[in-house]
Amino acid sequence: MGNERQQKIRNFCIIAHIDHGKSTLADRLLEKTGVLTAREMEEQVLDNMDLERERGITIKAQAVRMVYKAQNGEEYIFNLIDTPGHVDFNYEVSRSIAACEGAILVVDASQGIEAQTLANVYLALEHNLEIMPVINKIDLPSARPEEIIKEIEDVIGLEAHSAPQVSAKNGLNIESVLEKVIEVIPPPKGDEDAPLRALIFDSYYDAYKGVIAYVRLMEGSVRVGQTIRMMHTGKEFTVTELGYLRPGGIMPNDSLLAGEVGYICGSIKNVRDCRVGDTITRADNPAPEPLPGYKKAIPMVFCGIYPVDGSKYGDLRDSLEKLQLNDAALMFEPETSVALGFGFRCGFLGLLHMEIIQERLEREYNLDLITTAPSVIYKITKTNGETIELDNPTNMPDSTEIASMEEPIVKATIMTPTEYVGNIMELCQERRGVYEGMEYMEATRVILHYEMPLNEIIYDFFDALKSRTKGYASLDYELKGYKESKLVKLDIKMNNEIVDALSFIVHVDKAYARGRRMAEKLKDTIPRQMFEIPIQACIGNKIIARETVKAFRKDVLAKCYGGDITRKKKLLEKQKEGKKRMRQVGSVEVPQEAFMSVLKLDT
Amino acid sequence: MMNTQGKAIGMYIHIPFCQRKCHYCDFPSYAGMENYWEAYTEAVVKELTLKAEDFSQATIKTLFIGGGTPSLLPYRLIERILETVHSKYRVIPHGEATIEANPGTLTPDKLKTYRKLGLNRISLGLQAAQEDLLKKLGRIHSYEDFLHAVDLAHQNGFQNINADLIFGIPGQSLEDWRMTLERVTALDLTHLSCYSLKIEEDTLFGDLKNQGRLEEVEEELDREMYHMAIDYLAERGFAQYELSNFAKPHYSCQHNINYWECGEYMGIGAGAHSFARNRRFANTPDVAAYIGGIKTGEPLLSEDITLDMEDRISERMILGLRMNRGVDLEVLSLELNVDLEMKYAEKIEKLLAWKLVEHCGTVLKLTKRGMDLANSVFIEFID
């Protein structure tokens, strides 16, 4: 049994699919609890990165403390821990969930449950969380709450008839959610006198305070001035500041106690020393065991990132370092490409993570980038018995030296309205998927299970899935393991020279089609130049596709009289600028789009 | 340092009116503005008067009335303009003086007046010798009209006649083009301009192209037509002297050569450009705004750029190289006081390797291939 103090605390997260209204509901809860007045509220307080707001997803976990005066007259402390909404950040989700006693499951009253939502609900159930369904968007004409309630009961097996039916957008029935939280979600019950065990569920780098650890105290207590120890990394720090989290900021306090959620700073310089999932204990009275479930974030998707302007290499490095301060999952190391010059090999949790990093580099750090085709980690056993892990196709050994190769396989879960099942099966088959089964969620919606190579998913799969299901299907996947596979390296030669940045690894059965497609696409992207440029797709020495960019025959402005000079000069300047933006690959000038366009061959 | 006073300069007068806008035309020219003709003429007269003092020491060595369609105006308006020119400026006697004309607009009266006013060169917009192509281009005249106009011009004492031609028109065959060249060279003309059609934005052709309803001809065909013109016209006594211009001996257009030599010129009228004292500036192309500006005594400018040394060098190179005679690097180096051979050593070497330019003594010029890919040459001389 928790003590009196803990009886008044509720720690919970919100699980929802993108667009189902998680952030809007969070906003309303904040508004109702009076942390902020409506006027002070910036829309969707919890998502504070621009990118998050634009994409409508949460990238980093966030947390906020609210004070709610309940109908019974008592004041309660609510700690809302927001969770990232995307499969790439699954691990962060699991840590956020581990910090809570309950979860609000927000389901769109017209859309129903989606793949990632379900995955996160299962994750929450694994952690013994109390799940509290909330039906949102009931104001929409297409709302069908009764069917959705049935779906929740059938698919998840949760009682949903008493679920609050709300419209977060219009602020309808928000009060009932808050009351329900007190009723349904259990209070924390950790022993405040036990040795400290605090779970780090997020961390954030602040230029003044160093790394700020977002923590949930499971047991014990901590005060400013005490020495803390990270149980997995063993690093020790002195607590310089701690306190509670409030929207868009912090609220210093002198101690944190079991059951509470807050932040701890200790002049921690590197986010790597403060890893999500690690347990903080006190050096003077350490806990015997860390909290369970810690794992290092492991990148699954890799690509090369190069500055368009080679002289910006230093800027790119600085920017990556800055991003890494806040993102322990981002990895990078220097790499050189014959075609692209100096750049970095970067590792990401998944495709979305990759896209977000690229966008942040371009947007927040004003860099123009070229990225190479994404790759996964392949395991290669060489004929001499040596095994290597390969994340860059350029480093693939000669085929004669390879005894066998393995590629990562994932379990993919796809939820879709039944009418698209055919399309999806076709797509999955094209992508070497192995059908594992299908379940009906309701009469018109199913869950499809596939086993699929990850390298097929990172390659434009998500876009293809969306376009073949009019955006209705949702996808979730998790790494299952490695499987032997017949893989080859496909090289692209331009003017008889291999362009290393365009090489990639592909299943042998798909190499021909992809090589052909790639050569065609490059032919369309590369402008005519002074000479004819053969473009070839090859496996080893074998040419499997060939296209030709014809030499250009005409590049002249026919008219140039007194009134044309300034204008024509501007056109020439523009032409010159365009040329400067191209990459010189051997003797061929390749526009950046060429490197990008080959990433999307299926569209 | 010399100034404009005392220099021989070109004078360009723009008449921005047309009976109808051609489908490919992106020049400042407007149809249906008859109400403005008088007022515009007065504005031109006033601009000429306003600038006369500035140029009191200059000599007008070439005169060019272009458009638009200058021949569309009643001849008394042209008369009014040219009388102003002659009364306010020193014009070299018998210097080249051109008026552009649309074959569909010429009359004996107009031509007689032009001669009387000292105009000695007519530039006729023919474009093509096939009715279907003329129609496609949005021209208002027939090939017959053109023949008639040439006859009229000859009858009224014009010996120096140019025809503008266009090749690379969508739908135009190589045979069509050959026929056009054959026909025009059978007439007694002194000069031909052959332009590769460029589809510009904000023209009817541009719109059609954007809608996917019109496609530019293949580069290969365009160049075949161009090469055919160069070879064929040479046989018929027209030597190429600039990328798009061909002339019988002694009939190359002096007014235009002045542009390519970066000589000074004054532009009068809406949208007209001037180059004087290393400054390039242009009157607004908007007719009403132009007239309004002139009324206040201060022409409204839409462009005003002063060239620095690098700009000047660059312009001398890219404009000079348009001409078949090329650029004499030694002469130009002396004039600009910079060693161009050294300055451009690396670039010239590259262009030589690509066989885009050739060196004849100290002269640098485009090769035949260089004429097809002239922009690739020019951008090397731009920073």
The string of pLDDT tens digits covering residues B119-150 is 999 999 999 999 999 999 999 999 999 999 99
Residue (of A435, A382, A381) closest to A406 by Cα position: A381
Q: Which chain B residues are Cβ-neighbours of A563 within 8 angstroms?
A: 12, 14, 267, 271-273, 282
Tell me whether A565 touches chain B (CB under 8 Å).
yes
Distance of CA B158 to the CA centre of its chain: 19
A263: left (phi over 0), alpha (psi -120 to 50) or beta: beta
Same domain flag for B108 and B187: yes
pTM, two decimal places = 0.69
pLDDT band at A38 (very low <50, low <70, confident <90, very high): very low
pLDDT at A203 over 90: no
Distance to chain A for B332, nearest Cα, Å: 19
Give tens-digit pLDDT for B289-322: 999 999 999 999 999 999 999 999 999 999 999 9
Six-digit token string for A302: 């890799």
Contact at CB, B375 and A555, closer than 8 angstroms: yes
How far is B36 from B34, CA to CA, in rounded Å? 5
Same domain flag for B225 and B364: no
Mean pLDDT of A409-420: 91
Cis peptide before A85 (omega within 30 of 0): no
What was the pLDDT predicted at A17? 78
Domain boundary among B260, B276, B294: B260
Give me chain A's average pLDDT, please. Answer: 87
Same domain flag for B332 and B241: no
A165 DSSP 8-state letter: B
What was the pLDDT predicted at B274? 97
Give tens-digit pLDDT for B248-275: 999 999 999 999 999 999 999 999 999 9
Residue A593 or residue A37, greater confidence: A593
The answer to whether residue B348 sits within a structural domain is yes
Q: Domain range holding B371?
A: 325-381
The answer to whether residue B343 sits within a structural domain is yes
Residue (of B230, B259, B258, B235) closest to B245 by Cα position: B230
The answer to whether residue B294 sits within a structural domain is no
Domain boundary among B260, B286, B302: B260
What was the pLDDT predicted at A85? 55
- Strands (DSSP E) found in A231-329: 236-238, 241-246, 249-253, 255-257, 261-265, 279-282, 301-307
What ipTM did this prediction achieve?
A: 0.94
Same domain flag for B254 and B365: no
Distance to chain A for B284, nearest Cα, Å: 12
Find the chain B residues whose C-beta atoms sit closer than 8 A to any C-beta of A: 10, 12, 14, 195-196, 198, 219-220, 222-223, 243-244, 256, 259-260, 265, 267, 271-273, 275, 280, 282, 303, 305, 314-315, 318-319, 322, 354, 371-376, 378-379, 382
Residue (of A204, A231, A236) closest to A219 by Cα position: A231
How far is A521 from A155, CA to CA, in rounded Å? 44
Contact at CB, A558 and B198, closer than 8 angstroms: yes
How far is A551 from A588, CA to CA, in rounded Å? 11
Largest CA distance in chain B: 58
The answer to whether residue B148 sits within a structural domain is yes
Instruction: B92-97: list long-range contacts, CB under 8 Å, 24+ apart.
Output: B92/B8, B92/B59, B92/B60, B92/B61, B94/B120, B95/B60, B95/B61, B95/B62, B95/B63, B95/B254, B96/B61, B96/B62, B96/B63, B96/B120, B96/B121, B96/B160, B96/B253, B96/B254, B96/B255, B97/B62, B97/B63, B97/B64, B97/B121
Residue to mutate among A532, A549, A553, A577, with most B CBs inside 10 A, is A553
CB A267 within 8 A of CB A240: yes
CB B263 within 8 A of CB B11: no
Give me chain B's average pLDDT, please. Answer: 95
Strands A75-82 and A62-69: antiparallel
Q: How many domains does chain B have?
A: 2
Give tens-digit pLDDT for B318-338: 999 999 999 999 999 999 999
Strands B97-101 and B59-67: parallel
Distance to chain B for A562, nearest Cα, Å: 6
CB B232 within 8 A of CB B178: yes
What was the pLDDT predicted at A40? 41
The answer to whether residue B363 sits within a structural domain is yes
What was the pLDDT predicted at A49? 47
Same domain flag for B224 and B334: no
Closest residue, chain A, to B269 (C-alpha): A563
Q: Which chain A residues are Cβ-neighbours of B223 within 8 angstroms?
A: 553-554
Same domain flag for B213 and B330: no
The answer to whether residue B291 sits within a structural domain is no
Q: Which of B271, B318, B378 sits opposite A563 (nearest CB)?
A: B271
The answer to whether residue B2 sits within a structural domain is no
Contact at CB, B243 and A566, closer than 8 angstroms: no
Tell me whether A558 touches chain B (CB under 8 Å).
yes
Same domain flag for B255 and B341: no
Query: Among A259-263, A281-285, A467-471, B262-266, whose mean pLDDT is lowest?
Result: A467-471
Mean pLDDT of A2-7: 83
Largest CA distance in chain A: 92
The size of chain B, in residues, is 383
Contact at CB, A559 and B244, closer than 8 angstroms: yes
Contact at CB, B372 and A559, closer than 8 angstroms: no
The answer to whether residue B231 sits within a structural domain is yes
Question: What are the Cα distances from residue A520, in Å, to A484, A600, B310?
Answer: 30, 13, 42
What was the pLDDT predicted at A125? 86
Domain boundary among B260, B280, B305: B260
How far is A115 from B301, CA to CA, in rounded Å? 63
Same domain flag for B231 and B354: no
Same domain flag for B108 and B248: yes
B80: domain CATH number is 3.20.20.70
pLDDT band at A2 (very low <50, low <70, confident <90, very high): low
pLDDT at A45 over 50: no
Q: Which chain A residues are Cβ-neighbours of B271 within 8 angstroms?
A: 563
Q: Which chain B residues are Cβ-neighbours of A561 within 8 angstroms?
A: 256, 259
Q: Which of A530, A557, A562 sits opposite B259 (nearest CB)?
A: A562
pLDDT band at A87 (very low <50, low <70, confident <90, very high): low
**Radius of gyration (C-alpha) of chain A in whole angstroms:** 27
Mean pLDDT of B350-356: 94
